[in-house]
Each structure stands twice: as C-alpha cells, then as structure tokens.
C-alpha cells in the first residue's frame, strides 16, 4: 500500500510517498481501506514534533478518516467486511489502509460521502464539548467565534445556531466572511492580520465590542490565539467564558486583571483528553452530532480535495491559515 510518511521532523515538504506492506488485523482490531482523510491543524504540528503526542517515526499524519472495513480481527463484534466507517486514529490516516480500534469507529450513514464523514468527528466533537461542557452556552446568549471560516470555526457557527445563540463570526477576509454567513452567522467581523501594535489591538477590541453588543460576548470560541486573544477577551460579558481551543497565530499572554474586572472564566478545551476520560459523555455528544447532521442543522463543508501525493500541499495550506472549511485527501 501507499502512505505519505514523516521520516524526519519538518514541514509538509518533508513528507515522502512510500510503499509499505498492507496492515493485518490482530485480535480486537479492524483494517480500514481509507477512502478519505481530513486534514486538521494537529497534522501541521505532529510532523514538526510540536503536538502533545509524538509518534515513533516513520508515521503518516492524518487522524480522522472514513473508509470501508477490509478485515475484521478475532473477537470484534458489530463490524463486518464492507461496512462504511468513520475512524479516529490520532495519526496514520494518509495511508491506503490503516488498523483501527473498533471502540473509535462510527458508522458512516448511507448517502453521505466519505469526505464528509472524515470531516465530522474531530471538528464538531471538539466544538460541542467546548460550547456545552466548557462554555455552558445557552439559548439567547451571544457567541463570538474567532477564525470562523476554518473547520472548527464553521462548526462553532453551526452548533451555536443549533443551540439558539446569536453568533458573531470573526475572520480575516471578505471571502471568509461570506463562508461564515453561509454557515448561519448573524454578524461578521473582518479583522486585519497580526501582529498588532498597542493602538491596533485597542482598535480590534473596539471592533469586537461593537459587534457583540453592549452586554458583551457570553462565550468566546478561540481556535486562533496570538494577538487576537486579548482584544477578544476585552469584549467578554460579565461572567463570560473564554474558550482556549488552539494557537495557529501563537500562544498568547492574557492580562489576568481582565478576568477579575469581568468576573470571567478562561477555559481550556482538550477534546481528546475529555473523550478518553469520559467516553460515555463523548459518545452522547457524538450521537447528538449525528442527529443534527441527519436533521440538516450541521453539515461538514469540504471545500477542497487532494490526491494522496498532494497531501503535503493540504497540510501546507492549513499551516498558512488559508483554508476555508475542510481540506480532505481522497484515497479511494
């Protein structure tokens, strides 16, 4: 089989298309013939050894796939060869076949394509955990979403609307603002590219405050970080919740006096650890996501598709923060 491998730490240009033996399902495992692998920001970090988990090399990036069950190991129940499945892997997805844990498989509904299926669990799973468990978002509240045209950003818009919030989407271009509006955002902000000096930071804070309204944002969903964080925090409501999701723009340093003045919470969001620590709660969220998907209230937006040999280009586009929606590598 073919796989796009990281053999040394570095950027997407270091990935090497290689031939490997087909994997075999050991007892308690299944083998998936990968049809689609979604690209997420952890794929940028993991090949540079900057992610929380550092797999032994060589490895293929790609933690979220959809495909067809090709082999079922002894002791596995509920899955058969030919079943359509979504799998969460951590890494390995940019391979034509992968070994997967049946406990981390979900059935891909008929009528949904593999690229959509590969784009559902990580972004929406992260976001539903963030908004409900960490942000305690309620109907009628205001949700400010940074980086709102990326995969998790669009998921936050859709889920925010599904849960009855007013959603303000902050993005870096008019094209991205259009994507945010198409996903259901009530209002959009187009901000400049960081870095910001003191005056620019103050101006952005005023821009956020004007968009969210006098009472402030009850929940701020931040998958961006960097110089955008402090201006956003300045627009938070009394007892608001600031959700720390990711740092493609850099790890910010927040002035903690702001949290005192607003009596607000700064909440970390680590969905992978949550899913491992509380699998029943995570499973309930996933079931909710499938219901919302079935009812048309959420829909993964696959905006660009790549061949396996071009998987590095997809990761590079993610690294450059140029992606709108989901980028997917197709192998089937």
| Residues 179-211 pLDDT 10s | 999 999 999 999 988 999 999 999 999 999 999
Which candidate, 120, 194, 150, 123, places its Cα nearest to that of 322? 150
Report the greatest alpha carbon distance in the chain: 64
Are the beta carbons of 48 and 61 closer than 8 angstroms? no
Given this model, what pLDDT does residue 31 score? 98
pLDDT at residue 67 is higher than 90: yes
Which helix (H) or strand (E) segment holds residue 60: the answer is none
Residue 53 has pLDDT above 90, yes or no: no
Task: Give tens-digit pLDDT for 230-250.
Answer: 999 999 999 999 999 999 889
Average pLDDT over residues 54-81: 96
Domain boundaries, the chain: 2-120+300-330, 122-272
Q: Tell me the CATH number for domain 122-272.
A: 3.90.180.10
pLDDT band at residue 76 using 50, 70 and 90 as cut-offs: very high
Which architecture does CATH list for 2-120+300-330?
Answer: Alpha-Beta Complex (3.90)
Same fold, 2-120+300-330 and 122-272: yes
Distances (CA, A) of 254 to 240, 260, 279, 282: 15, 12, 32, 30
Q: Find all residues with CB under 8 Å of 171, minimum gap 6, and list them.
A: 147, 148, 149, 153, 177, 179, 180, 188, 189, 190, 191
More confident call, 187 vs 51: 187
Q: How confident is the model at residue 288 (pLDDT cuts 50, 70, 90)?
A: very high
CB–CB of 112/35 below 8 Å?
no
Q: What is the DSSP letter of 9?
A: S
The angle formed by the CA atoms of residues 235, 240 and 246, to the nearest 5 degrees, is 75
Bond prior to 58 in cis (omega within 30° of 0):
yes
- The label of the residue with tokens 């031939």 reads 19
């Amino acid at each position: 089989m073919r796989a796009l491998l990281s053999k040394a730490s570095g950027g997407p240009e270091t990935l090497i298309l290689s031939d490997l033996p087909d994997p075999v399902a050991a007892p308690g495992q299944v083998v998936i013939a990968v049809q689609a692998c979604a690209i997420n920001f952890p794929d940028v970090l993991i090949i540079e050894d900057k992610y929380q988990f550092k797999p032994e090399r060589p490895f293929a990036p790609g933690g979220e796939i959809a495909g067809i069950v090709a082999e079922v190991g002894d002791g596995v129940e509920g899955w058969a060869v030919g079943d359509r499945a979504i799998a969460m892997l951590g890494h390995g997805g940019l391979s034509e076949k992968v070994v997967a844990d049946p406990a981390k498989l979900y059935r891909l509904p008929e009528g949904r394509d593999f690229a959509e299926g590969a784009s559902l669990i990580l972004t929406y799973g992260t976001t539903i955990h963030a908004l409900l468990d960490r942000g305690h978002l309620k109907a009628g509240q205001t949700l400010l979403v940074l980086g709102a045209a990326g995969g998790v950003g669009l998921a936050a818009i859709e889920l925010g609307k599904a849960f009855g919030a007013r959603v303000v989407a902050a993005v870096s271009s008019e094209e991205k603002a259009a994507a945010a509006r198409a996903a259901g955002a009530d209002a959009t902000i187009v901000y400049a590219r960081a870095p910001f000096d003191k005056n620019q930071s103050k101006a952005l804070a005023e821009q956020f405050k004007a968009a969210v309204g006098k009472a402030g944002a009850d929940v701020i969903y931040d998958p961006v970080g960097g110089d955008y964080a402090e201006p956003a925090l300045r627009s938070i409501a009394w007892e608001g919740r600031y959700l720390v999701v990711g740092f493609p723009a850099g790890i910010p340093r927040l002035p903690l006096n702001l949290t005192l003045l607003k009596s607000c919470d700064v909440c970390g969001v680590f969905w992978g650890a949550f899913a491992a620590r509380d699998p029943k709660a995570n499973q309930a969220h996933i079931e909710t996501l499938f219901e919302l998907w079935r009812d048309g209230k959420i829909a993964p937006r696959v905006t660009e598709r790549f061949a396996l040999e071009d998987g590095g280009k997809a990761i590079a586009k993610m690294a450059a923060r140029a992606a709108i929606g989901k980028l997917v590598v197709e192998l089937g």
